[in-house]
Structure 1
Amino acid sequence: MFGLKQPKPAGSGPSGSNPFDSDDDTLKPSNRINPEPSLAAKNLSLNSFDDDDCDEKRFTTSSKPSLDLDAKSRYRNGFRDSGGVENQSVQELESYAVYKSQETTKAVQGCLKVAQGIRSDATRTLVMLNEQGEKITRTHHKTVDIDHDLKTSWKTRSITGPVITKVGESPKRRVNHLETREKLGLNHLPRPQSRTHEPLPESANAYQKLEMEKAKQDDGLADLSDLLSELKNMAVDMGTEIERQNNGLDHLQDDVDELNFRVKQSNQRARRLLRK
């Protein structure tokens, strides 16, 4: 079998050296091919970074590189480590202006989220206050019913006229959470409008990006102003409800004291009847 493979290299030297020469020849192309995948991998890795740069170019002008960590660190400290703002190029200052505008937009959106959370808490508090007021009202009506039962059971009136009187409001039935929110008008609270802005092209300059960020900031501040107005009205409603409940609790305390006195009288009558 070895004799069949040797005639293939024609014009070669002795058979002893041919295998090594052929091996060298076969190894040389492999040596040339081996670096190529690494170069391709490097190109792929570079391309992947280039793609990331393309994504980040939305935050900068099309003529300058994307914001990297070094650039952001310079922007955060106001170029204190690189000679100050006055020693920066025009392109660098444009990128810095876009960066600061984006940071302002994020701050406005953060304030808007905080205000939305406060409104959610205020809504739950207002619902709880309303339900508490209904419980106070039902308790008051229950004391009136107990007083009526006491007078009916003994068929007599030792005290001229009922002292416990019903409040002006009619008895309220138990309402669920959704009905309470509907009654308070909390189901129709205006929500911040989701305004959509057309994305800027990749060739947009710094001025266009600044105008886009300015529009986002104006929308966020408008929504924040509406939320603050709602919170103010809800705070007024809470104060009114708490004041009403305080007055109701004062009347309820008087009714409970009177009911306690009448129950004691009823017990005394029962003991006298048992003695007879």
Structure 2
Amino acid sequence: SSLPPTPVLPPSPGKSRRPATSPHPRRAPPLLSGKMPVSSVAKPLSSKPNPFDSDSDSEFTSRRARASSSNSVDPGANGRYKNGFRDSGGFDNQSVQELEGYVAHKAEEVTQKVNVCLRLAENIKEDATNTMIALHKQGQQMNRTHETAANIDQDLSRSETLLGSLGGFFSKTWKPKKTRQIKGPAVISRDDPFKRRANHLEQREKLGLSSSPVGKSDPQKYSDPTNAMEKVQVEKDKQDNALSDLSDVLGQLKGMALDMGSEIDRQNKAMDGLQDDVEELNSRVKGANQRARRLLGK
């Protein structure tokens, strides 16, 4: 037989139903302290600049970008600068920035031309140095030649004395014909400016030391310009230094030219004296040869 259904009793009015409890009891929240809790996850830095900070990184970067953009030269600007803005309406139709860029471009061109002049002057100085050394060696060789001629005069005088003593008892005494005295080379003072300068340059050449370029003795360091007008000022400073170096090189070239001119005059006079001594020795040698042939003919 079937059992009757179990009746559902309603809850009593004085008691409330308890919810089902979890097997894991919940932890009580921590007590509040004086310190704020620190999150373990770091928040990403905001990319927005601080509106109250005038020296923020983004503003500094933007200023650097504006400065670099003001220094950068448009590739097509050089063409406009060279033709003087004839294709773009002339100078009157240009902006202040374009005109400042034009002035900076022209200042840079002048600096390059001054540097070219300085390099040419230094090349001329190097050639003048080599010429001075060669001229000094030529003068030394001429001096040695003249000393050799003076030694020949001494040997020839002894030979003439022997030739005069030879011959018969009744023969006529022979005497060489001397029209002038052999002077020999002129003595050069040690304080001669050309000799001192040439000796110094020759010693440097033997040591393998080139002549020190004046324009490169103390290279200047210039600050990086931030705009066109600062670039013009930097170029003016470069031009002043290059022109000062050029003036020094030209002054040295002038001194070297004067020294070489005086040395050439001295060598011309020495050449005249050497030629006169050689002609006198030649005449005496001919007379001595004639005396020797006469003695052999007897």
TM-score over 0.5 for the alignment? yes
Q: Cα RMSD (Å) of the superposition?
A: 3.0
The residue number in structure 1 matching 2:100 is: 94
The residue number in structure 1 matching 2:88 is: 82
Output aligned runs, 1:59-208, within 5 Å: 62-64=68-70, 66-155=72-161, 156=164, 158-159=176-177, 163-169=181-187, 180-182=198-200, 191-192=214-215, 193-200=217-224, 204-208=226-230
Retained in 2: the 8 A contact 1:164–1:255? yes
Which among 250, 261, 266 is matched to residue 244 of structure 1? Answer: 266
Q: Which moved more, 1:73-82 or 1:132-141?
A: 132-141
Map Cα deviations across residues 44-77 of structure 1 (whole Å, 9 max, x no partner): xxxxxxxxxxxxx9xx963447324421111001
Stretches of structure 1 that go unaligned for 5 or more consecutive residues are 1-56, 173-178
Partner Cα distance (1:229, 1:246) in 2? 26
Stretches of structure 2 that go unaligned for 5 or more consecutive residues are 1-63, 165-174, 191-196, 205-209
1:222 aligns with 2:244: yes
Q: What is the total number of aligned residue pairs between the two structures? A: 211
Retained in 1: the 8 A contact 2:182–2:277? yes
1:132 shift after superposition: 1.1
Secondary structure of the 1:167 match is coil
Secondary structure of the 2:214 match is coil
1:205 shift after superposition: 1.4
Map Cα deviations across residues 218-262 of structure 1 (whole Å, 9 max, x no partner): 000000000111111111111100110111111111111101101
Partner Cα distance (2:294, 2:155) in 1? 20
1:180 shift after superposition: 4.6
Distance 1:164 1:256, change over 3 A: same
Counterpart AA for 1:112: L
Runs of 4+ in 1 over 6 A off after TM superposition: 183-190
The residue number in structure 1 matching 2:35 is: none
Distance 1:184 1:237, change over 3 A: farther
Counterpart AA for 1:266: A
Partner Cα distance (1:65, 1:128) in 2? 50
Query: Which structure is higher in helix share?
Result: 1
1:261 aligns with 2:283: yes
Q: Structure 2 length as normaliser, TM-score?
A: 0.63
1:185 shift after superposition: 9.1
1:153 shift after superposition: 2.4
